[in-house]
């Protein structure tokens, strides 16, 4: 595999955990039940798993995935680095983007919004647009 010929994708999934070994943690589908979270690192397109980390269910946020992702990237030789790192909006946060920029690693992630988005131009109502449809 040559430099820039692949893209990693990372994410997490929360799953129920039962038995005496279960640690009380967050389960989004059944509050109060035990769970654990799989943080996975995939080679996009091929769906090849680069790594999996298991955390308690209350460690499901992207900040718990970041150390494992950076470790994988740091352990790759220069000729084997990915073209870019891909993630959803949970990974579009300043700490992760700063770390990737310091490593000069291109990335693609939706930015996390802190406040509700307000459009700069308000939408006109259909009756004001002259569409002939009148009011809805």
Q: How far is CA 7 from the centre of its chain?
A: 14
pLDDT at 53: 84
Q: Would you say residue 119 lies in a domain?
A: no
Mean local confidence (pLDDT), 15-22: 49
User: For the segment 62-80, what is each residue's pLDDT rounded down to a tens digit?
Assistant: 778 888 888 988 998 888 8
Using pLDDT thresholds of 50, 70 and 90, give the confidence band for residue 13. Answer: low
Query: Mapping DSSP to helix (H, G, I), strand (E, B) and coil, where does residue 95 land?
Result: helix
Q: Max CA-CA distance within the chain?
A: 67
Task: Tell the burial category of 26 from Cβ atoms under 10 Å away from its Cβ (0-12, 13-18, 19+).
Answer: middle
133 pLDDT above the threshold of 60: no
State the Cα–Cα distance between residues 84 and 7, nearest whole angstrom.
6
Residue 1 belongs to some domain of the structure: no
Q: Does residue 91 lie within any of the structural domains? A: yes
Does residue 125 form part of some domain?
A: no
Residue-range definition of the domain harbouring residue 89 = 8-113
The CATH number that applies at residue 59 is 3.30.420
- Domains in the chain, number: 1
- On whether residue 128 sits in a domain, the answer given is no
């Amino acid at each position: 595999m040559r430099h820039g010929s692949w893209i990693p994708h990372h994410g997490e999934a929360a799953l129920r955990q039962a038995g005496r070994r279960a640690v009380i943690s967050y389960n989004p589908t059944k509050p109060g039940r035990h769970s654990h979270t799989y943080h996975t690192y995939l080679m996009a397109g091929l769906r090849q798993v680069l790594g999996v980390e298991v955390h308690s269910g209350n460690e499901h946020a992207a900040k718990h995935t970041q150390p494992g992702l950076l470790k994988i990237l740091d352990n790759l030789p220069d000729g084997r680095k990915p073209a870019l790192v891909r993630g959803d909006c949970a990974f579009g946060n300043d700490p992760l983007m700063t770390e990737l920029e310091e490593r000069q690693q291109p990335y693609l992630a939706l930015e996390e919004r802190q406040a509700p988005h307000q459009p700069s131009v308000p939408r006109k109502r259909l009756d004001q647009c002259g569409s002939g449809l009148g009011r809805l």
